[in-house]
Amino acid sequence: MLEHIRDAKTPKEAWDTFVTLFSKRNDTKLQLLENELLSMAQRDMAVAQYFHKVKSICREISELDPTAAIGEARIKRIIVHGLRPEYRGFVAAVQGWPTQPSLVEFENLLAGQEAMAKQMGGVSLKGEEEAKAEALFNDILMRHMAKDCWTKKKPVESNTATSCSKENSEDGWDAEALFATEEEELALTVTTPERIDYKNDWIVDSGCSNHMTGDKQKLQNLSEYNGGRVVVTADNSRLPITHIDKTIVTPRYNTNQVQLQDVYHVPGMKKNLLSVAQLTSSGHYVLFGPQDVKVYRDVKITETPTMEGRRLESIYVMSAESAYVDRTRKNETSDLWHMRLGHVSYSKLSVMVKKSMLKGLPQLDVRTDTVCAGCQYGKAHQLPYDESKFKAKEPLELVHSDVFGPVKYVWVFFMKEKSDNFSKFKEFRDSAEGEVGKKICCLRTDNGGEYRSNEFSQYLRECRIRHQYTCANTPQQNGVAERKNRHLAEICRSMLHAKNVSGRFWAEAMRTAAFVINRLPQPRLGFVSPFEKLWNIKPTVSYFRVFGCVCYVFVPDHLRSKFDKKAVRCIFVGYDNQRKGWKCCDPISGRCYTSRNVVFDEASSWWSSEKEVLPDSREFGDKLQQKMGEHDVQLQTSSDESEDPNGDDVEQRVTQNPWQIGVYQQPNEEGGPSETEESIPQSQLRRSTRIRRPNPKYANAAIIEEATEPETFEEASKSSELMTAMKEEIDALQQNQTWDIVPKIKDVKPISCKWVYKIKRRPDGSIERYKARLVARGFSQQYGLDYDETFSPVAKLTTVRVLLALAANKDWNLWQMDVKNAFLHGELDREIYMTQPMGFQSQDHPEYVCKLRKALYGLKQAPRAWYGKIAEFLTKSGYSVTPADSSLFVKANEGKLAIVLVYVDDLIIAGDDEAEILQTKENLSVRFQMKELGQLKHFLGLEVDRTHEGIFLCQQKYAKDLLKRFGMLECKSTSTPMEPNIKMCAHEGKDLEDATMYRQLVGSLIYLTLTRPDISYAVGVMSRYMQNPKKPHLEAVRRILRYVKNTIDYGLLYKKGEDCKLVGYCDADYAGDHDTRRSTTGYVFKLGSGIISWCSKRQPTISLSTTEAEYRAAAMAAQESTWLIQLMNNLHQPVDYAISLYCDNQSTIRLAENPVFHARTKHVEVHYHFVREKVLQEEIEMRQIKTDEQIADLFTKSLSVGKFEHFRRQHGVIQRMEANIEGEC
């Protein structure tokens, strides 16, 4: 372009040159675009693609020639001209509307018809049958628009093909009409070897709603038509009906004369049409063949049909999904109720209908010889064993119990391990006996180890429950539970296969199966349901629906904008015991919720049989067992059904809130509901055109329910374990004389208190103990009034790592102790009054308050008071407080060390003075109530393992819980926590609807960096956007979680026998922050083989050069090295050498060694020259290192896979199995 204006002397000459070059229209391109527009056709394009292409060409033409802009009306005509033939009938109907839709509305309507066509089978007929299929399809579409279309405001008064005309007005026509176009005439001419005689022949039309002819001579006795109906054809022309009478039809291929009743005479019609619907209504059967069509008075069917449809008003359709979704309510059949009732046998269904055993069950015509494909897939038969002669006389007289893989049962309890069986049985006994009002007399089980433990047997003896075992290898003696397992599995498979539901919904299918079976009459109970037998209430089934069917959930007005969808398409997954509503799930987004405003399309399935067919029953069951084998579920049976061969059950109990799917799922672009009807998020107007498929890792509908920590005293009081824990806490407080019960002082407002509950778990997830803590609500305290100073004895995590590294290097033992009720030992220097604890108020003086004598958890001064006590005790025992860390106490005796590290009420004791350590432990146990925890294994979520090489430190359980909490446990893994060379920006991308989840994610990952330096940089970068996170930030955090999934068992290894010297590395990424252009500091220090301290932090100011950025990083590393030297000296590990600090920038090294101020560094703050002073004092020594060997590079930028893994190993971050854990080798 510059070549054209090179010789221009003034800006005006340059501008005139540009005007001459570019002001003329490009006539050639304009002609090409117009030619392309005139020849435009849809062909294989989708409606959205076709519209986009036409509008793009029109836009280009308008830009090239603004004087000939193409209007919306012309664009619509061009689009209609190029549409595929199957849309012609629909377009003709739309053109007959009084108010024409806009171009955008027209595109939306066509897209809806395109989707409907795909639902009806997606097969386009070609050749001979094309026009006939088009006419029938148009008939269906036009019928929808007349009766159910959202644009028509007046109700339709008739379901026939004609409508009542009101004074021949434009609004009085019904689109359910005859479709006989010129295309059809041509098609019929081609399809037969002989030419059709339209004057005499009658055309059999399945889309025509009434016999009609244009030849008045064919009617025998003309009776004038006095109705108000007209006939509307596909081109929107209206033909009047003048006469109605009967006629005689004589087919040309035989001599049988047939009389037709109620034939319309329609002047102007060129064909004689026989209506299939009118023929079948009179009791005839119409059979279409490849070469002919026959009408029978009666037909006997011997073959099983390959396809089966049903009649909807005057036409026949193969899929009810193409009709209005609520039509299924008008067509309740025995097959529908067979599926609603959990694929109950047809014979049992027939009995239930005849005897009206269930409320809401309509009168049905049940054929007992019907074959259900779902039942064949899901059920199998086996020869029965002889039945037991014993029959229980009342509920809970005999309880059958068994454990069956991933199956849920009546009183449902989830177990991660079979060892949880005992606690679950106790819970079952408490709830069952309380609800039924009876006592369990006998428990019959198999010989599983979960039933033979000493504590289980002792508990049964205390409760006076007889325990019966089955003989070895004889599960038939516990046949009720075993049959119930089989029965539930069969019903579950049947429901899944009948609707081709994905296997990940097995848990909801199992819950629904149990719910339904509970309410079905059982022969052994005198055809009374277990629910009615137990609660004396006849169950209602009118709200039952087919599991897995398509449903539409209403979205309330306040949760959507004006043009958003008013319903969300989901699948039905069961019933809710806590709410009066149906539970539904969106398989695309995985979001689940409960609502009463649901419309069901029970004849339809989300997954077509061609696209997703579940494996056979046995194969499915085996895979189900393998997939969910890690979880065991206990099953309890009431004895009322001990003789039931079908193994039906009693009322189901489900813990509240089984759906843990919500904000932690993948964002839903469709904007579906979240969890309940009240929490449906607002959807976006913009729609993506890509095909979405269910993502099992975000839509895991089969979520395992675990014991949760209660929030209130009312919830905790229902647990015997927590009540015991609260009693122990109160006893400890009273023994410690924590308070006195005194009358309430008039002008003093006591602070309140609350119970806090915690379920302590082992690393494998099993429950270790239940813990209850009484906590004062210290937030109501006022500074200077009832407290002065605060301090919490919290050891630095770097101190913990230094201690572990020394213990590994010198092969010290590590002991752990826990102080029971540590804060209760602190003395108070202020008068503080507190309300009496809930559940343990004084019986004599409930209005009194507690005057605290000693500290209590929750008080602002409680940590400081406890620290004063423990520090005083250790100081008197000869320990000294280290200046480097006030929570670290050291005692040296003749070259031997004893070290105590305090973290609130957790103590780590280490050193090589075994006698002193033993004495210290004894003294602590005498002075305080201590709990001896043995060798250090778990500390603040850190897992400490002794290996043959040293000490391995990791957070594997924490990482697994983190992934599980945020729904990423089954996600795909990745090799690096961040994409290489990615640049994050603060203002790019869409805002998150809820930033809380993002902050929780990043906060949880920050704690994981205590043992995972490999994610420090990535987590540090993402923590910069906590204030206003965007969608790309959330995706980047999810990538970190995917990396954690890949390296879940990685940690730090501190080897023994290594050269125990401090070595440092520092680096900086110049102007790495894209928003502020500030640099990133990274440093790391190693003690022996493992790293003990590291940092990845954005610098507070902008650096003007790489040297300045590196110099600032070196200064921060020098500060850390000074503290580490002090800490090592306090631990009697003298650092009598200059610490090597490696840097890959030569200018930085020269600047640190040279005291002269240069012009380019005179602006650097004085405190950054701290590194220069330390170099001169020979405390550190700056050394040159190659960039490829600079391991601190891991903390300044995202690296490639090879470089990242190399540096990670240099840091000592390895896999757990590589550490050679003792006891696992």
Between 1083 and 1156, where is the model more confident? 1083
pLDDT digits 0-9 by tens, 552-591: 888 888 877 878 888 888 999 999 877 888 899 988 888 8
* pLDDT of amino acid 323: 36
Please say if the pLDDT value at position 653 is more than 60: no
CA triple 125-130-136, angle to 5 deg = 95
What pLDDT, on a 0 to 100 scale, did the predictor assign at position 177?
32
Q: Which band of pLDDT confidence, cut at 50, 70 and 90, is reported for residue 664?
A: very low
Q: Are 1051 and 952 in contact (CB under 8 A)?
A: yes
Judged by average pLDDT, the poorest of 373-377, 767-771, 897-901 is: 373-377
DSSP assigned state of 676: S
Q: Reduced to 3 states, what is the DSSP secondary structure of residue 1118? A: helix
User: According to DSSP H, which parts of 124-231 are helical?
Assistant: 130-147, 182-191
Q: Across 520-566, where does the E strand assignment appear?
A: 549-554
Contact status, residue 605 vs residue 675, Cβ threshold 8 Å:
no
Reported as a single tens digit per residue, the pLDDT across 806-831 is 999 988 999 999 887 666 566 776 78
d(CA 249, CA 261): 11
Q: Where is 760: in which H helix or E strand?
A: strand 753-761
Q: Tell me, what's the pLDDT at 1156?
A: 58
Residue 1176 class from Cβ within 10 Å (0-12 exposed, 13-18 middle, 19+ buried)? exposed
Q: pLDDT class for 1213, splitting at 50, 70, 90?
A: very high
This prediction has a pTM of: 0.45
* Token couple for 219: 């009617």
pLDDT classification of 357: cutoffs 50, 70, 90: confident
* In the predicted structure, residue 634 carries a pLDDT above the cut 80: no
Tens of pLDDT, residue by residue over 507-529, are: 888 888 888 888 888 877 778 88
1203 confidence band (pLDDT: 50, 70, 90): very high
Residue 951 neighbours by CB distance under 10 Å? 26
How far, in Å, CA of 1096 to CA of 1068, rounded?
9
Question: What separation in angstroms does the CA of 764 have from each of 630, 759, 971, 1044?
Answer: 12, 14, 21, 18
Residue pair 980/1199 in contact (Cβ under 8 Å)? The answer is: yes
Q: What is the pLDDT of residue 392?
A: 56
Among 149-153, 353-357, 852-856, 891-895, which stretch is predicted with the lowest mean pLDDT? 149-153
pLDDT at 748 over 70: yes
Q: What residues have CB less than 8 Å from 1142, skipping those under 6 apart?
A: 1063, 1064, 1065, 1066, 1183, 1184, 1185, 1190, 1192
* Predicted local confidence at residue 1045, as pLDDT: 94
User: What was the pLDDT predicted at 433?
Assistant: 78
Among residues 174, 201, 205, 601, which one is catalytic? 205
Is 65 one of the annotated active-site residues of the chain?
A: no
> Residue 696: its pLDDT value, please?
41
Across the chain, mean pLDDT equals: 75
Q: Write down the pLDDT at residue 1052.
A: 94
Question: At a CB cut-off of 8 Å and minimum separation 6, what does 736 contact?
Answer: 821, 824, 825, 854
Q: Which residues contact 1104 (CB under 8 A, 6 or more apart)?
A: 1160, 1163
pLDDT, greater one: 218 or 1145:
1145
CB–CB of 750/851 below 8 Å?
no
Q: What is the pLDDT of residues 438-471, one digit of tens each?
A: 788 888 787 777 777 778 888 888 888 888 887 8
C-alpha gyration radius of the chain:
40
Per-residue model confidence (pLDDT) at position 167? 36
Helical H runs in 300-420?
334-340, 346-355, 373-378
CA distance 538 to 352: 13
Angle at 155 between CA 150 and CA 161, to 5 degrees: 95
What is the structure's pLDDT at 1168? 66
Residue recorded with tokens 């802009």: 69
Tell me which of 78-87, 131-140, 543-552 is least confident. Answer: 131-140
What is the predicted pLDDT for the residue at 645? 32
Over 60: is that where the pLDDT of 20 sits? yes
680 band by pLDDT with thresholds 50, 70 and 90: very low
The predicted structure's pLDDT at residue 130: 40
Task: Summarize the confidence of residues 363-369 as an average pLDDT.
Answer: 74
Band (1205; pLDDT cuts 50, 70, 90): very high
% of the chain surpassing 90 pLDDT: 19
- pLDDT the model gives residue 394: 60
- Cite the DSSP H helix spans in 72-179: 72-82, 88-95, 103-119, 130-147
Those residues with Cβ within 8 angstroms of residue 192's Cβ, 6 or more apart along the chain or in another chain: none
Answer yes or no: is pLDDT of 669 > 70: no
Closest CA to 796 of 935, 908, 937: 908
Read off the tokens for 358.
């269930």
pLDDT at position 182: 30
pLDDT of residue 905: 80
What distance in Å separates the CA atoms of residue 415 and residue 401, rounded to the nearest whole number? 14
Helices (H) then strands (E): counts for the chain: 32, 44
Q: Is the pLDDT of residue 423 over 70?
A: yes
Q: Reply yes or no on whether the pLDDT at 1161 is more than 70.
A: no
Overall average pLDDT of the 82-88 stretch: 82
Lowest mean pLDDT among 149-158, 223-232, 428-437, 609-618: 149-158
Q: Which residue has the higher pLDDT, 817 or 348?
A: 817
Which pair of tokens denotes residue 1144?
């890959």
- What's the CA gap between 1193 and 1082, in Å, rounded? 7
Report the pLDDT value the prediction gives residue 453, as an integer from 0 to 100. 79
Instruction: Kindly indicate the confidence band of residue 1033, based on its pLDDT and cuts at 50, 70 and 90.
Output: very high
Burial of 1196 (0-12, 13-18, 19+ CB in 10 A): buried
929, pLDDT greater than 90: no
Residue 1207: predicted pLDDT: 93
